[in-house]
Amino acid sequence: MKIYWSLKSVPEFSGMPASERKEAWREWYGLVPTTPRIVVAFATVGVCAFSGAVLGEHFGHQVIGSALGGTLGSFANAQASIYMTLRYLRKARKGSL
């Protein structure tokens, strides 16, 4: 699975100006049906934040652990969201929705 660091690195959005890219992302992301993958990806944020807090508490830095865990979970959530949105976008362009 390819890692996208920003919307600019997504081939479908790379040639667009920033404002148009953001608008297109909002439009397409809102059309993606809520699938189990999206729900699991969203839940990953909470699980990672909680795990980070527990691990951080062990080392005496619960807030830092929670922040690092939440960041890791958010990154995973973003990757899953981009993947599912691109899948939906490609199917829509082929007319197979």
- pLDDT tens for 35-63 read 788 888 889 899 999 999 999 998 889 99
Distance from C-alpha of 38 to C-alpha of 7, rounded to nearest angstrom? 18
Helix and strand element counts for the chain (H, E): 3, 0
The tens digit of pLDDT for each residue in 6-41 reads 888 888 888 888 888 888 888 887 777 777 888 888
Long-range contacts of 36-43 (CB under 8 A, 24+ apart): 37/80, 37/84, 38/80, 38/81, 38/84, 40/80, 41/76, 41/77, 41/79, 41/80, 41/81, 42/77
- Are the CB atoms for 77 and 42 separated by under 8 Å? yes
Scan for tokens 């919307």, then name that residue: 7
65 vs 88, higher pLDDT: 65
CA atoms within 13 A on the CB side of 34: 4
The reported pLDDT for the residue numbered 97 is 58
Note the pTM of the prediction, 2 decimals: 0.73
